[in-house]
Structure 1
């Protein structure tokens, strides 16, 4: 089974406006409610590609109940822990002349609630895959990623990490199966440029040297690069379409990659599906559905190539 972790899921209020002016009354043009958070987004994308998963994490308050009901209505199995203090965050995603986000902070998670979470993880087996992604609430230990990565390694669980900075770096000694930074995160991690394919490849190789088995780097309009555990490097061109909402595109890449790799075990095919899924979501409100993903996939797959 595939399990996704979302420490801090969210109810996203996605609105568009012709213009936005601070200090003034503004009117929306369109409004949508999207239930998400990085791990939840991965589960939604997996479901769109007919791949089962269970969404783990923490919810709280009336927004948490709405999120769980909304996600389960989409066909996702959840096993969230309900937190007593606070409420699941609401994030404002405003699309006017520019994209603007105002994200909530989320609930406070107690030691007992965290203990219950680790008890769930303790039941995982080597047949399971765990997707660890997103930010960590202030109430959780700073080394929570490393703790989970160590547990996954001990149990032989396939671990996928989608995070930035020290969160990702802290997991490398436990040899995660796949890490997925974007190009900006990769550059910031090593304080080095990642402007060219050669520079991205060199930094991805450094992540492998430190312990990652496979490295998938999303590069927005420049496509994606995959450095595999067997030393091959693949490149996928960016999907073509009209950007509607970039939120969830990286999570969708993870979901698309994982869905295809689970089926075929083929890195090249997995890169193509991941790139298509990420692009399809960027061209949608919320996480893309099957038909849009497959339509984008048709335009992407022929461009995937091995470059090393």
Structure 2
């Protein structure tokens, strides 16, 4: 989705054997700059049958853990490329044992020390470790927060706002909490927002959250404020569910869908709900947002 939105993307990853060589070629064909650590052993892989329009798992295999030297190489590559880009997205590998969760704590801290904006799309121990290092923007789902014991059952916006406060206490500066089928909640500095994407017919819901993250990061990399960037993210996520491929779409359609995204400012936890503002379109966002400092366009 980042590539669909015209962002230059460097992907730091570990690639294994023949499958890794195939993957590198496919990624480069899509326009990624691939910085890989070549490794022996077995990488994660799956085969899915989608001929009937559904996703049926035929075979899946987990990847082996990275060795000490491979992990050091990958860490160094991520630090170097992150500094060059100015914005880094930390996401998780397939399988819990591929690399230690503490890698995310160290990497988040080291990137931010070097003035890199760190965006994290993680859950569980990896998320908690990254928070210890410090995070500029955390994106997480309400289901993931419940699984981590940070959110009670139900769909109460007030409970989500309290959970966001806890995440900020643990190290997140700004937070996005998605809710399947419901508006998502954003903490942007001192303000809390409820964002409603356009309601489109769903072909495949998978990938909507990743597309949202990509849209937000594309906006941030181009110099948008977080408030404007979440509108781009909401439009990208909505576009993705209308298609059968993950992270697909086109920039022109996503730009059109931005006009259908609704944003409502929420009261602080414990405040009078009547103090909240009404829904506004992107044209009204400027009245809510403080002037953003000018910054050069960054790569993600």
User: So what's the TM-score if we normalise by structure 2?
Assistant: 0.78
Matches within 5 A, 1:110-259: 110-123=67-80, 124-125=82-83, 128-135=86-93, 137=95, 138-189=97-148, 190-228=150-188, 230-259=189-218
- Tell me if structure 2 keeps the 8 A contact 1:91–1:104: no
- Tell me if structure 2 keeps the 8 A contact 1:131–1:161: yes
Q: Which aligned runs of 4 or more in structure 1 are off by greater than 4 angstroms?
A: 93-103
Matched pairs, number: 261
Matches within 5 A, 1:7-22: none
Looking at structure 1, the residues matched to 111 and 180 of structure 2 have their Cα atoms a distance apart, in angstroms, of 30
> Where does structure 2 lack aligned partners over 5 or more consecutive residues?
268-300
Instruction: Give 1:267's match in structure 2, choosing from 223, 226, 232.
Output: 226
| Equivalent residue number for residue 72 of structure 1 | 28
SS in 2 for 1:273: helix
SS in 1 for 2:3: helix
Looking at structure 2, the residues matched to 178 and 135 of structure 1 have their Cα atoms a distance apart, in angstroms, of 19
User: So what's the TM-score if we normalise by structure 1?
Assistant: 0.76
Looking at structure 2, the residues matched to 256 and 179 of structure 1 have their Cα atoms a distance apart, in angstroms, of 14
CA offsets 1:143-187 (integer angstroms, 9 cap, x no match): 222222232233232111111122111221222001111111122
Matches within 5 A, 1:9-48: 45-48=1-4
- Are residues 75 and 200 of structure 1, via their aligned partners in 2, closer, same or farther at CA, if it must alter by over 3 Å? same
Looking at structure 1, the residues matched to 192 and 151 of structure 2 have their Cα atoms a distance apart, in angstroms, of 22
> Where does structure 1 lack aligned partners over 5 or more consecutive residues?
1-44
- Are residues 276 and 103 of structure 1, via their aligned partners in 2, closer, same or farther at CA, if it must alter by over 3 Å? farther
Instruction: Give 1:276's match in structure 2, choosing from 235, 247, 269.
Output: 235
Which deviates more from structure 2 when the two are superposed, residues 54-63 or residues 85-94? Answer: 85-94
Q: C-alpha displacement at 1:200, in angstroms?
A: 1.3
Cα RMSD between the aligned structures? Answer: 2.4
- Tell me if structure 2 keeps the 8 A contact 1:61–1:88: no
Matched, 1:298 2:226: no
Which deviates more from structure 2 when the two are superposed, residues 152-161 or residues 215-224? Answer: 152-161
Q: C-alpha displacement at 1:188, in angstroms?
A: 2.2
- Tell me if structure 1 keeps the 8 A contact 2:66–2:98: yes
